[in-house]
């Protein structure tokens, strides 16, 4: 039985981690960490856990907490995880960090886009970017996983096969993305109030969203050269879900069957990537509450472009589910364990 702790357990991603780990079967959560709700019953923060999780929230010494567990999930704001991670902590337990602190290898890029001074740059080189479908073998052997962001997960998985096979003009990539309100976190913000979000859709972070360098870095690895992309996210009035629509110019004429073969080459054996049938395009409702990513594409012969769509649940595959998937790999547990929930519909 793997013993786990959750830091930031009272946020949306932390609550989703608690839900998934309760049904895992091979994990026991030893403590639920929260700076803001110390000594309060965890179920008072999430009433869905009433009479299911009786534990009290803690905020103890990180070295003592690390001695109690085999893995710590850090579902915390940027800058927090890097402030306590050290080689001493990593010698006690493994870490799955859901923040951006260890995702970006270039320190200057991280500090520029997140406007933070990194607290522990020496550990960055030890972290593995936790996109399981691409870095599976590296994840198995690391003690520190940088869990990818929600937008990057959907975008990278959607575009990765095309870039690996050098099929698109990398200067032409444009990414249009939409997310539900839970992606902004549980904190009280005017922009996230019901009256602000309901019956509304808006773009934000235009040309400067902080997931941009993460997407660029990972797609650059796939393409074998440095990429610059246009990425524009939008907030839509729903609780969960991400839909990304990416556009790229084809380098040569490509049939549907040829492109389909490329995607099947990389994803046919992946448990959580579903390549939809021809002319069936992803919808967020089809993946809600699950760890699945639905992907499909359309070739526009008139403009010589390919349009690629991906849909997933931002709190599951985009955060907590992917974190559990990474933990499974780190501990030699079957990768799908605890993650085979069927999407909820409607």
Tell me: the pLDDT tens digits for 178-214? 999 998 888 778 888 899 999 999 999 999 999 999 9
pLDDT tens sequence for the chain (346 residues)? 999 999 999 999 999 999 999 999 999 999 999 988 999 999 999 999 999 999 999 998 999 999 999 999 999 999 999 999 988 999 999 999 999 999 999 999 999 999 999 998 989 999 999 999 999 999 999 999 999 999 999 999 999 999 999 999 999 999 999 999 998 888 778 888 899 999 999 999 999 999 999 999 999 999 999 999 999 999 999 999 999 999 999 999 999 999 999 999 999 999 999 999 999 999 999 999 999 999 999 999 999 999 999 999 999 999 999 999 999 999 999 999 999 999 999 8
Burial of 13 (C-beta count, 10 Å sphere; 0-12/13-18/19+): buried
CB 330 within 8 A of CB 94: yes
Whole-angstrom distance, CA of residue 11 vs CA of residue 328:
22
pLDDT at position 185: 84
Domains of the chain: 2-126 (3.40.50.720), 151-314 (3.30.360.10)
- Whether residue 334 has a cis bond before it, omega within 30° of 0: no
Q: Give per-residue pLDDT as tens, 290-340.
A: 999 999 999 999 999 999 999 999 999 999 999 999 999 999 999 999 999
pLDDT at position 188: 73
- For the annotated catalytic residues, the residue numbers are 150
- Residue 26 CB contacts under 8 Å (≥ 6 apart), including other chains: 1, 2, 333, 337, 338
CB 289 within 8 A of CB 344: yes
As beta bridge partners, residue 242 has 179, 312
pLDDT at position 189: 82
| Per-residue tokens: 180 | 């539900």
């Amino acid at each position: 039985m793997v013993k786990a702790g959750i830091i930031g357990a009272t946020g949306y991603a932390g609550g989703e981690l608690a839900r998934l780990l309760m049904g895992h079967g091979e994990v026991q959560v030893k403590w639920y960490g929260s700076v803001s709700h110390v000594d309060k019953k965890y179920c008072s923060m999430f009433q869905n856990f009433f009479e299911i999780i009786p534990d009290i929230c803690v905020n103890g010494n990180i070295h003592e907490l690390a001695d109690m567990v085999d893995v710590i999930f850090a579902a915390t704001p940027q800058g927090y995880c890097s402030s306590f991670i050290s080689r001493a902590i990593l010698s006690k337990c493994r870490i799955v960090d859901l923040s951006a602190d260890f995702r970006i290898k270039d320190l200057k890029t991280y500090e520029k886009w997140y406007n933070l001074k990194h607290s522990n740059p020496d550990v960055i080189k030890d972290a593995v970017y936790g996109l399981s479908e691409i870095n599976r073998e590296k994840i198995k052997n690391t003690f520190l996983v940088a869990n990818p962001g929600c937008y990057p997960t959907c975008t990278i998985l959607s575009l990765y096969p095309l870039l690996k096979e050098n099929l698109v003009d990398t200067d032409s990539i444009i990414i249009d993305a939409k997310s539900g309100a839970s992606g902004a976190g549980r904190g009280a913000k005017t922009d996230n109030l019901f009256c602000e979000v309901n019956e509304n859709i808006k773009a934000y972070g235009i040309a400067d969203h902080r997931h941009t360098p993460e997407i660029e870095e990972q797609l650059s690895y796939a393409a074998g050269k440095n990429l610059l992309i246009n990425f524009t996210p939008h907030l839509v009035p729903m609780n969960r879900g991400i839909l990304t629509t990416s556009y790229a110019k084809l380098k040569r004429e490509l049939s549907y069957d040829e492109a389909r073969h490329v995607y099947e080459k990389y994803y046919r054996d992946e448990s959580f990537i579903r390549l939809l049938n021809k002319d069936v395009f992803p919808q967020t409702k089809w993946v809600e509450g699950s760890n699945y990513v639905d992907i499909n594409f359309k070739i526009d012969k008139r403009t010589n472009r390919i349009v690629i769509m991906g849909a997933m649940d931002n709190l599951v595959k985009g955060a907590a589910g992917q974190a559990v998937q990474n933990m499974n790999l780190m501990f030699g547990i079957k990768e799908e364990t605890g993650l085979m929930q069927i999407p909820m519909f409607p």
